[in-house]
Amino acid sequence: MEKQEPPPPIVLDPTLVHEPVTTTRPNQRIDPWWALVAAIVGTIIFLATTIPDPYRRILVFVQDGIGVSLMVTVVSFVIVLVGGLVGGLGRLSKNWLIHGIATLYVEIIRGIPALVQLFFWYFSFPSIVQGLGQVLNIPALQNYLANPVGMAILGLSFCYSAYMSEVYRAGIQSIAKGQMEAARSLGMNYVQSMRYVILPQAVRVILPPVGNEFISLLKDSSLVSVVAVADLTRRGREFMSSTFTPVETWTMIALLYLTLTLFSARIVTWIERKTRMER
């Protein structure tokens, strides 16, 4: 999305009556909620240095899990941003077939728990592919084995794109009808109007719910621990079962997730401020 340059200072014409002009954005000061992020990180450091056994050991043990969780989340989210746009435009399509397919997708996917969907992609989907390979006698399909990380990303993306479709749809619908009419009346086609007029405005509107989806996805990425992905949650479980320190382990895991989610929330707020539009 194109970044909006801050408007340059406006020379006020005193003979004209209009609303006061603000040339500075409100809230340029530092977001105070960064303090909460700092407090959580501080707690982690404090625990790891004062009680290294087990807190420091937990940190060392699960550190690669943090990377896996983040990777699964970020890759899925990028797919979700595209998939949601496609789904959202489909939901708004005047073509009954496209509209129907998009609506069916959203309704069905929203109605099935994410965990069940992950099980389907990891356990059922490979079986179906293998069965198909046998029927069609294609050895490559018969020997198909699911890649845990791949299936986890596919499952999360497929699931979250449905929610994101609704976010995009609501965002696009929130833009006044006159905007599309003005764009079309200038001779721009549907795609051009969407790209240059509607979406840049809609994206600003949907930033808060999109940020929400990201944080939600980050937390739900813990579900992939049940399909053999060594994410933060799974590493935590492994540490706990080998050391029998449930309180310390899950406290530390919770603090680590909190760090990631609170940090993400601050980033979203920061982007919101950067792209705020004078209305």
Partner 1 sequence: MEPIIHIENVEKHFTGVHALKGVSLDILKGEVVVIIGPSGSGKSTLLRCINRLEEYDKGQIVVDGISLNNAANINAVRTEVGMVFQSFNLFPHLSVKDNIMLAQRVVRKRDRAEAEKVTQELLIKVGIPEKANAFPSQLSGGQQQRVAIARALAMNPKIMLFDEPTSALDPEMIQEVLDVMLDLAREGMTMVVVSHEMGFARAAAHRAILMDGGLIVEEAPPDILFSKPTQERTRAFLSKVL
User: Which residues contact partner 1 (rule: CB under 8 A)?
Assistant: 4, 7-8, 10-11, 13, 16-19, 21, 176, 178-179, 181-189, 192, 196-197, 200-201, 204, 277-279
Distance of alpha carbon 273 from alpha carbon 279, whole angstroms:
14
Closer residue to partner 1 in complex, CB, 19/26: 19
Asked if omega into 54 is within 30° of 0 (cis), the reply is yes
Token readout for 175 is 């833009």
Q: Considering the complex, what minimum distance in angstroms separates the CB of residue 191 from partner 1? A: 10
Q: Which residues contact 28 (CB under 8 A, 6 or more apart)?
A: none
What one-character DSSP code corresponds to residue 216? H
Cβ(219)–Cβ(261) below 8 Å: yes
Rounded to an integer, what distance in angstroms lies between the CA atom of residue 157 and that of residue 220?
11
Q: What letter would DSSP give residue 106?
A: H
Closer residue to partner 1 in complex, CB, 37/172: 172
Q: Which is nearer to partner 1, 20 or 139 (CB)?
A: 20
**Closer of 123 and 196 to partner 1 (Cβ):** 196
Query: Smaller CB distance to partner 1: residue 18 or 29?
Result: 18
The smaller minimum CB distance to partner 1, of residues 104 and 182, is found at 182
First to last CA, the chain: 19
Q: How far is the CB of 119 from partner 1 (least distance, A)?
A: 43
Shortest Å distance, C-beta 174 to partner 1: 13
CB of 7 to partner 1, least distance (A): 5
Tokens 């999305």 locate to 1
As measured in angstroms, the least distance from the Cβ of 204 to partner 1 is 7
Q: Least distance (Å) from partner 1 to the CB of residue 16?
A: 6
Inter-CA distances, 233 with 5, 55, 58, 238, 256, Å: 41, 15, 12, 9, 10
